[in-house]
A = this chain, B = another copy of it.
Amino acid sequence: MTDRNRLIIFDTTLRDGEQSPGASMNLPEKLEIARALQELGVDVIEAGFPIASPGDFEAVQAVARQVEGVTICGLARCNADDIDRAWEALRDAAQPRIHVFLATSAIHREFKLKMAKEEIVRRAVQGVQRAKQYCEDVEFSPEDAARTELDFLAEVVEKAIEAGATTVNIPDTVGYAVPEQYAAAIRHLKQNVRGIDNVVISVHCHNDLGLAVANSLTALKEGARQVECTINGIGERAGNCALEEVVMAVKTRGDYFGIQSTINTKRLCPSSRLVAHVTGLLVQRNKAIVGQNAFAHEAGIHQDGMLKERRTYEIMQPEDVGLTKTELVLGKHSGRHALREKVRELGYHLDDAQLQRVFEQFKALADRKKQIYDADIEALAETQIHDGPAIWTLESFHTSAGTGTLPMAAVCLAHVDGRKVEDAACGDGPVDAVFKTVERITGISPELRDYQVRSVSVGEDAQGEARVEVEHEGRVQRGQAVSTDVIEASALAFLQAINRLAMRRQQRMNPQTEAVTVS
């Protein structure tokens, strides 16, 4: 494959994806996703917006230091503080990239930035130049480019290239573009910007009208060669261009696009499941490529056609995207080695101590459950990539509930300092009673914003995965846990969220400065 036909996949799951309401991730979670992206074969990982918060800075720095063989990118506005801070986070990366942005559309100039065109150009040039002092690989984004006057857009882009930008990204920040128009904008730049043939044209589309993938693909036909995207299409509002869709469209319609990415498509489904687990943003059943139904044929005529010739109704094969049919994997007698292999295959990177804990849980589960599925193993592995040691752990609990009786729970929690505390409470139901008891013991009473349980595999002995989202003193925290007992899973998930709140209360050293983020 020549450079000309090479599609660069720029993943921003950790930056724009993390901006999805409810999807904030902690450091171990971000590292796990970064490693999965590296295995998936993406070219660039945008790991965060270093100046936005200490957490963002640490994440970019950790990814820059620990994830190899891929370009690591950090975001910055066009000002010295942002760019310096981005470089501080990125400097240990083998292949660092600084991504600077500044809005260019009339509405952003007038209402948000209150700057004239000349000022925008000046700032953009200064930003690129400052980034270039640190790093050869500099990307420039005119925010809200899709609503910017074409002539002015061409002017800004040309100046950014002169100043040293090696990639110019054309964001449709608000998801307003339609394919033909967006393609025309790329064509206009191709024809009118001096030096454009020496840089990579990138696209960054949002999905507000359901057109992010189509806009990105149409731009590729006009010569764009980098697509900014996220796993499962997560991101601000309706999200970003879905990585798995753009990759499979280019692959399936290679006859039309004539370009190739280096994505290992068999890692698409595992990556999708990992991101869904970590962010709590589940994928709908009819989601293209990675949804549960994406390859399911229901109608009789379709099934009939499939039996006669697969291609009558199937343009991709489930194996191509890593959807394996034989989900049944391990049994009671499977050993540590088989488990280690399976965990890796599912896309998790656990150290020996974590793997040992998963192995113990797996053995306990195999005693209770006849068949262990991939999803069971994933659920166990996932609990390992969250936090450090917990302040409170569940020692034991008991619940009683039913018609005409007051639902009640008794809970015993162990504190990290050694003491054990027992208490009991009533509730609307047994889960509510457990939550109320945990609140009594820990002294933390958050508001429950969301609560979900789902079976992670099939059968009545399937494990239930509980997820809670709570809000306390303006902060949202999530918790997640699995058990064959729904009440136990709920108790553990709630306790995880409480522990995160308690940790935060203990630390209280880094005041929140999450006032910035973008496109």
In the complex, what distance in Å separates the CA atom of A146 from the CA atom of B458?
37
Is the Cβ of A515 less than 8 Å from the Cβ of B401? no
Interface hits, A95-153 → B, CB 8 Å: 107-108, 110-112, 144
Asked if A448 lies at the interface with its beta carbon under 8 angstroms from chain B, I say: yes
Within 8 A of B (CB), among A160-219: 173-176, 178-181, 207-211, 213-215, 217-218
> Is B431's CB under 8 angstroms from A486's CB?
yes
A465–chain B nearest beta-carbon distance, Å: 10
Say whether B454 contacts A208, CB under 8 Å: no
The answer to whether residues A301 and B516 also contact, given A238-B287, A314-B174, A486-B429 and a CB cut-off of 8 A, is: yes
B517 touches A288 (CB 8 A): no
- A459 at interface by CB-CB < 8 Å: yes
Nearest residue, chain B, Cβ from A221? B180
A435 on the B face (CB < 8 A): yes
Which residues in A have some Cβ–Cβ distance to B below 8 Å?
19-22, 52, 107-108, 110-112, 144, 173-176, 178-181, 207-211, 213-215, 217-218, 221, 232-239, 242, 245-246, 248-249, 252-253, 256, 281-289, 291, 293-302, 304-305, 308-309, 311-316, 368-369, 394-405, 407, 410, 427-432, 435-436, 447-455, 458-462, 464, 483-488, 490, 514-518
Please, which residues of chain B bring their CB within 8 A of the CB of A410? 402
| Contacting residue for A432 out of B249, B484, B515, CB 8 A | B484
List of 4 A-B pairs having minimum Cβ-Cβ separation, nearest first: A429-B485, A214-B214, A398-B402, A299-B517
Known: A20-B293, A174-B314. 9 other contacts (CB 8 A): A112-B305, A176-B252, A176-B253, A178-B253, A211-B214, A369-B428, A396-B404, A398-B403, A399-B399
The residue from B239, B460, B515 contacting A427, defined by CB atoms under 8 A apart = B460
Q: Is the CB of B181 within 8 A of A300?
A: no
Contact A312 B178 (CB under 8 A): no
Query: Considering the chains assembled together, what is the distance between the CA atoms of A239 and B286 in angstroms?
Result: 6
- Contact yes or no, A22 B285, CB < 8 A: yes
Copies in the complex: 2
| Cβ-closest chain B residue relative to A282 | B284
Is the pair A430, B209 in contact by a Cβ cutoff of 8 Å? no
Are B453 and A452 interface neighbours, CB within 8 A? yes
B298 with A485: CB separation less than 8 A: no
Whether the pair B399, A430 counts as a contact (CB closer than 8 A) is yes
Output the least CB separation between A78 and chain B (Å). Answer: 13
Identify the closest chain B residue to A471 (Cβ): B458
- B453 contacts A449, C-beta separation under 8 Å: no
For this complex, 16 residue pairs linking A to B, each with C-beta atoms less than 8 Å apart, are A22-B285, A107-B312, A112-B308, A179-B218, A208-B289, A209-B289, A232-B286, A236-B298, A394-B403, A396-B403, A399-B399, A430-B487, A449-B458, A450-B458, A451-B454, A453-B454
A301 to B82 Cα, complex, angstroms: 14
On whether the beta carbons of B253 and A209 are closer than 8 Å, the reply is yes
Chain B residue with minimal CB distance to A483? B429
**Across the interface, do A458 and B464 meet the contact criterion of CB distance under 8 Å?**
no
Interchain CB contact under 8 A, B459 and A112: no
How far, in whole Å, are A276 and B209 apart by their CA atoms in the complex?
20
Does the CB pair A428–B174 fall under 8 Å? no
Find out whether the CB atom of B405 lies under 8 angstroms from the CB atom of A313. Answer: no
- Is the pair B518, A316 in contact by a Cβ cutoff of 8 Å? no
What's the nearest-Cβ distance from chain B to residue A332, in Å?
A: 15
- Which of B288, B432, B518 contacts A209, CB < 8 Å? B288
Contact in complex: A487, B312 (CB < 8 Å): no
Chain B residues lying within 8 Å of A430, measured Cβ to Cβ, are: 399, 401, 430, 485-487
The distance in angstroms between the C-alpha atoms of A171 and B453, with both chains bound, is: 38
Do the beta carbons of B518 and A301 come within 8 Å of each other?
A: yes
Bound: A450/B304 CA distance, A: 26
A213 to B217, CA, bound (A): 14
